[in-house]
Amino acid sequence: MLALRSIAVALVALVLLAGCGDEPDGFPSDQDRYAAADVTFARDMVAHHTQALEMVDLTDGRDLDATFAALVREIRETQAPEIASMNRWLELWSGSVPSTASSPEMDDMEGMHHMDGMLSDDQLEQLATASDDDFEQLWLQLMIEHHQGALEMAQTELDEGTNALARELAQDVIDTQQSEIETMQDLLAD
């Protein structure tokens, strides 16, 4: 009887110890394994997504087509949580979170606006000041280019990255943003 009780206690301890390896947000402890490509993907995609959310913010207060408004909402609801996840990874991997695309530090980093699909300051200004008649079409054209850049970045992560969660996110970016590009192309064709 004592032997059975000892085995039961040992099994409970093993289950509890196995559960300790997971953080509450589902980030397994073995996910601290990563490559330089994973860090680059997360850091650059945070900046990329941040700019997409800046573009989304430019739709505020405008009279939007219902399908266009639904697309904007989808982008906001998808990319904001992805930024939070990538920032958590970067904190775990390096102890720091990158500057966002809207910060002075990011603006000073040479080449950040030349990242795949990133809009220049002039393009953002053009979008911000576009008339209501021109806004949706310009926004869609620029967001398609932006999404295509994200697809390239995500594919690079799949080709070179090793972190399972980063690779999973890269595939999600490809699946989601390819679908959104098709929606945007349909809206432009209308």
- Whether residue 41 contacts residue 170, with contact meaning beta carbons closer than 8 Å, is answered with yes
Assess if residue 136 is contained within a domain: yes
**How confident is the model at residue 94, as a pLDDT?**
78
Residues 6+ apart with CB under 8 A from 126: 138
Residue 151 reports pLDDT greater than 90: yes
Assess if residue 108 is contained within a domain: yes
Assess if residue 4 is contained within a domain: no
The 10s digit of each residue's pLDDT in 169-179 is: 999 999 999 99
The 10s digit of each residue's pLDDT in 30-87 is: 455 789 999 999 999 999 999 999 999 999 999 999 999 999 999 999 999 999 999 9
| Distance of alpha carbon 83 from alpha carbon 110, whole angstroms | 22
How many domains is the chain partitioned into structurally? Answer: 1
**How confident is the model at residue 97, as a pLDDT?**
59
Task: Give the side-chain half-sphere CA count within 13 A for 59.
Answer: 21
Tell me the CATH number at 160.
1.20.1260.10
Token output for 154: 């995500």
Assess if residue 37 is contained within a domain: yes
Amino acid in position 179: S
Residue 145 reports pLDDT greater than 80: yes
Task: Give the side-chain half-sphere CA count within 13 A for 152.
Answer: 12
- For residue 134, give its domain range: 24-189
Assess if residue 166 is contained within a domain: yes
Residue with tokens 């680059």: 40
State mean pLDDT over 5-34: 42
Assess if residue 81 is contained within a domain: yes
**How confident is the model at residue 115, as a pLDDT?**
75
Task: Give the side-chain half-sphere CA count within 13 A for 23.
Answer: 11
**How confident is the model at residue 86, as a pLDDT?**
95
Assess if residue 19 is contained within a domain: no
Cα 185 to Cα 54, 84, 90, 126, 190, distances in angstroms: 21, 29, 34, 21, 9
Assess if residue 11 is contained within a domain: no
Helices 36-57, 121-128: axis angle to 10 degrees equals 30
- pTM of this prediction? 0.76
* Out of 66-75, 104-113, 134-143, 158-167, least confident range: 104-113
Task: Give the side-chain half-sphere CA count within 13 A for 18.
Answer: 6
**How confident is the model at residue 167, as a pLDDT?**
96
The 10s digit of each residue's pLDDT in 88-121 is: 999 988 765 555 443 333 444 444 545 789 999 9
Comparing 143 with 105, the larger pLDDT belongs to 143
Q: Cα-atom radius of gyration of the chain, to the nearest Å? A: 21
Q: For the chain, where are the E strands, in sequence order?
A: none
User: Does residue 27 sit in helix, strand or coil?
Assistant: coil
Burial of 83 (0-12, 13-18, 19+ CB in 10 A): buried
Task: Give the side-chain half-sphere CA count within 13 A for 94.
Answer: 14
**How confident is the model at residue 87, as a pLDDT?**
94
